[in-house]
Amino acid sequence: MTNYVYKLRPNPTQDLKMSNWVDMLRGHYNWCLNDRIIQYNQQFFQGDYCQIIHEVEACPLTCFVSKNGATGNPWKDCKVDKEGKLKNPRRSASDIQITSLPDLKTSRPWYSGIDSTVLQQNVKRLDTAYKNFFEGRGFPQFKNRSNFTSFTFVMGVKIQGNKIYLPKLGWMRFYNSRSIPDGFTIKACAVRKRQNGWYVSIRIENKSVPDYIAKALEDVVKVIGCDLGIAKLVHLSDGYQIENPKFSTNKKVKRTLKIRQRRVSRQVKGSNNRKKAAKKVGLLHQKISDRRQAHQWKTAHKIVERNIDAIDARKFTYFWNATSLSSEN
């Protein structure tokens, strides 16, 4: 399984529609997160309480003893195994929120224009954030315009030449920089907005392609160690060093960034000129990011081209210690 990234060429109508989708999905994501937080507080800390704004009892959708009707029924689809025990005795918060999506479209008809799988993946995106939290990577945060810029399709995507079909968006042109190999099928695609336009990342898979088989230990002859440096980007155990271009900290880029940021600060807040100046700052950051990523791929290619059988990060430590001791003696 691999991903191919292309730049989209939407017409003005499609561009506006995707921008509206991102705004609505961000609101939906924040609402689902807030609903789960209220449910947790009600269940474990405060008990039943009244919301000051609405002057009614707080009744989150994801509450396991929900008062909102069938959409919050926690005991739906329960099954009994051979031993008489319940399987999946309670529905998860994501199942309840996904089940309530038809009600969301009824109460807020503008959400009907968004593909159903996109809304479902938006809830699963929140599940991934909670999974990361339980693994010790921080509690999910509410999203804003700067950190919520994408949505995902999982079915209905088709490609013909330099056109791609996205459900409820229609056929859209894109820059077909490299064609998808024969035999690969599209599993999902993520649409993301960047400073210079829209991009689509297509996940493709071909089950007939065998997985990479690691070499046997007796076949490994030449091993090289590598380590990240400070003055240099990478140090190799054979003495070869790769320069660090410092795309974001060199003199020219720092001066350009300083000038563009100064222009933003001089504009009136909320004005169109300020938005244009801020976009130029974002384009510079995107250029730095693209150059850095391209250089990393080239660096990895250089290391692999050195006719080696394996790369060991620990080997460099042994090499460095041995070299230091010999130089001191």
CB 229 within 8 A of CB 218: no
pTM beyond 0.85: the answer is no
Evaluate the CA torsion angle 144, 150, 154, 156 in order and state its sign: positive
Q: Which two tokens stand for residue 145?
A: 């315009």
Does the pLDDT at position 19 exceed 90? yes
Identity of residue 210: P
Whole-angstrom Cα distance, residue 148 to residue 307?
42
CA angle, 272 then 277 then 281, to 5°: 140
CA 16 to chain centre: 22
Contact 220, 305 (CB under 8 A): no
User: At which residue do the structure tokens 């070299």 appear?
Assistant: 323
pLDDT tens for 83-124 read 766 565 566 788 888 888 898 898 899 999 999 999 999 999
Instruction: Give residue-wise pLDDT tens across range 131-173.
Output: 998 888 889 999 998 889 999 999 889 998 899 999 999 999 9
Percent of the chain with pLDDT over 90: 35
Distance CA(40)–CA(181), nearest Å, equals 47
| 267 CB burial (10 A radius; 0-12, 13-18, 19+) | middle
